Structure 1
Amino acid sequence: MEFTWTATTERELSAQGQKLEVLEYSAHPMEAPVQGYMQGLTRPSRWRQLAIHTTTGATLEAGALQYLRGNLEMQAVSASGSGGGLGGFLRGAVTAAATGEGMYKTALKGQGVVYTEPTRLHLLLGELRGESLIVDDGAFVACVGDISVGRHVNQGFAQMVGSGEGRVQPKLTGSGLFALQSPVPPEEFQLLELQNDVLKVDGNLVIAYTDSLQFSVERSSRGLIGSAKTGEGFIQAFRGTGRVWLCPTLPLHAGPLGAVTSL
């Protein structure tokens, strides 16, 4: 059976003249049902696409751009945080190769609408208010407004098991809107506001957190009999004041990000 794809606005978020819009594509049969017969129908999975309405520009994960409309100039910018020159470039390249974190993002300057490649993952929209957000690997899609995209070296688990290598993650700093991708629908996320509090998470359930929180990896009660070589028996701890994007239902979903490594 053939289908046509119809786009509707699933959700949107606006701030300071900028807007992020999530378009959801649903499949509809091209053939009319045959009267008097029972017909089983299996619809293809829905797809989602991010539309970025900007008056100043946007930053996208490398490879995320599908097309754009408007007076927008495009260039590749480094997100490695390393200094200029060949030495800094090589250091960044080695780090990116070792961690899987992309060195470059796509920067767009000007006014117009930018569309990302369709994905079966869900798109989570949020806003930064003059703060920094540390994002899990593979989750960053785009940001708009006065937000710079850098890198954060997370020592967490490496320090716990005695390794000197930290894991590099995207770090968004400033004010504006951002979009993350996840196999989990946004409705299932909990945005936790911590006020001089402690949050401990057993599992890979956090997709992002503000860097105002002190992050550490600690041994859980299971760690007394767990294996340090495999990472079993460790929990993530967040202390202080800030925000955490947490999804308790992540283990119930299968998808490309279902096996995201711990923050």
Structure 2
Amino acid sequence: MRTSLNITNKLTMLSEMSNDSTFQILQYDALEGGSDIDNAIKLKYMRDAGIKLKQVRIILDESSVNIGPGTLSYMKGDITISNKVGGVVGFGKKIFASKVTGEPLFKPQCEGTGEIFLEPSFGHFALIELEDEEIIVDDGLFFACEGSIEVGAARVRRISAMAFGEEGYFQTKLSGSGIVVLEIPVPEKEIFKCTLINDTLKVDGNFAILRSGEIEFTVEKSTKSIVGTATAGEGLLNVYRGTGQIWLIPTKNIYNELKTKGLEYESKPHGDIDTNV
């Protein structure tokens, strides 16, 4: 029997996905708890900019989910929390995956019937349902998943990708059937979800955050010769081949530039600022 917490009129549900468990992305319509002038000013700027607090809600129905360490906020119902190692072999795999991807060794498993609320964040979340498939994501994106999903490590196969791809030797691999929650760097509507069908995608920059497990990743020169690469000014490209999906976040670079260099930098062609002032 499911239990239910009342969602107040101060919360809006942005998205929902159900399988054995139900995952919801909730958004606080406004924060009104500023008790001093400094916080009140910050909250006003955030409201004007459309920056809103979000929270993941998971409804369990005699089911289980894995959550990231430190992400639990509160829960209600008949739910137990454990860290399942999976024997000597399972423990060894977890140590290996943790060391090579940087992901925490243990991911608490919540099992039973009830509701779980994870820590609220001003960041962004995406829900994905896997159907006997795997995806490879940037480290730090994993937030929660159904217990049927295996969280492991995927080795970058090509030497060129290891040396120049800025992805490291290993990335986080999520495989199986079930729902996954990712904490993503930009709003999901700003993600370009590129589908390849026996095709090639070349990316000038490190802003592909997810790819299907069947996609091959390499790093290649932007032209056929080293001289051509140097004169073209583009250098190396991240290259994705095969059939599957790739998530690109081109707007992330703009946010980074705005943060470090300001609006004037982005308003100039190629980011050039006239220093003769």
TM-score range for the pair, normalised by the shorter chain length = 0.7 to 0.9
Deviation for aligned residue 1:187 = 0.7
Report whether the alignment pairs 1:48 with 2:50.
no
2:196 is the counterpart of 1:189: no
Between the two proteins, the alignment pairs up a number of residues equal to 234
- Is 2:77 the counterpart of 1:75? no
1:125 to 117, 124, 127: 127
Would the alpha carbon gap of residues 220 and 54 (structure 1) be closer, same or farther in structure 2, given more than 3 Å must change?
farther
Kindly indicate whether the alpha-carbon contact (under 8 Å) linking 2:138 and 2:209 is maintained by their aligned counterparts in 1: yes
Matched, 1:9 2:15: no
Larger Rg: 1 or 2?
Answer: 2
- Greater share of strand: 1
Distance 2:137 2:66 in 1: 15
- The percent of aligned pairs where both chains have the same amino acid is 32
- State yes or no: 1:20 paired with 2:23: yes
Query: Hey, what's the Cα distance between the residues in 2 that align with 1:92 and 1:52?
Result: 27
Q: For 2:194 and 2:172, locate their aligned partners in 1 and report how far apart those are by CA, in whole Å.
A: 20
1:187 and 1:157, CA in 2 relative to 1: closer, same or farther beyond 3 A?
farther
State the match for 1:261 in structure 2. Answer: none
TM-score, length of structure 2 as denominator length? 0.70
Structure 1 distance, partners of 2:31, 2:101, is: 41
Aligned to 1:210: 212
Determine if contact 2:141/2:182 at 8 Å carries over to the other structure. Answer: yes
Indicate how the Cα distance of structure 1 residues 157 and 51 shifts in structure 2: closer, same or farther if over 3 A, else same. Answer: farther
Structure 1: gaps of 5 or more residues: 32-39, 259-263
Letter in 1 for 2:222: S
Aligned partner of 2:137 in structure 1 is 135
With over 3 angstroms needed to count, the CA separation of the structure-2 counterparts of 1:233 and 1:68, relative to structure 1, is farther
Note the alpha carbon deviations across 1:121-168, whole angstroms, 9 max, x for none: 1111111111001111111111126322122222556655399x9533
Q: Distance in 1 between matches of 2:161 and 2:250?
A: 26
Contact 1:123 1:181 in 2 (8 A): yes
Structure with a larger share of its residues in helix: 2
Residue of structure 2 equivalent to 1:177? 179
Matching of residue 109 in structure 1 with residue 111 in structure 2: yes
CA distance in 2, matches of 1:46, 1:179: 18
Deviation of the 1:189 alpha carbon:
0.9
| Whole-angstrom CA distance in 1 between matches of 2:160 and 2:70 | 29
**C-alpha deviation, 1:57, in angstroms:** 1.0
Q: Is contact 2:161-2:218 (8 Å) kept? A: no
Query: Retained in 2: the 8 A contact 1:183–1:254?
Result: no
Going from structure 1 to structure 2, the CA distance change for 1:25 and 1:173 (only over 3 Å counts) comes to same
One-letter amino acid of the structure 2 residue matched with residue 126 of structure 1: I
2:77 corresponds to which letter in structure 1? G
CA distance in 1, matches of 2:196, 2:155: 23
**Cα separation, partners in 2 of 1:214 and 1:30, compared to 1, 3 Å:** closer
Deviation at 1:78?
A: 5.3
**SS of match in other structure, 1:104:** coil
Q: 1:6–1:27: 8 Å Cα contact kept in structure 2?
A: no
From 143, 146, 157, the counterpart of 1:144: 146
Between the aligned partners of 1:233 and 1:101, the Cα distance in structure 2 is 30
Partner SS state of residue 169, structure 1: strand
Mapped contact 2:150–2:174 kept (Cα < 8 A): yes
**Distance (Å, rounded) in 1 between the aligned partners of 2:88 and 2:242:** 29
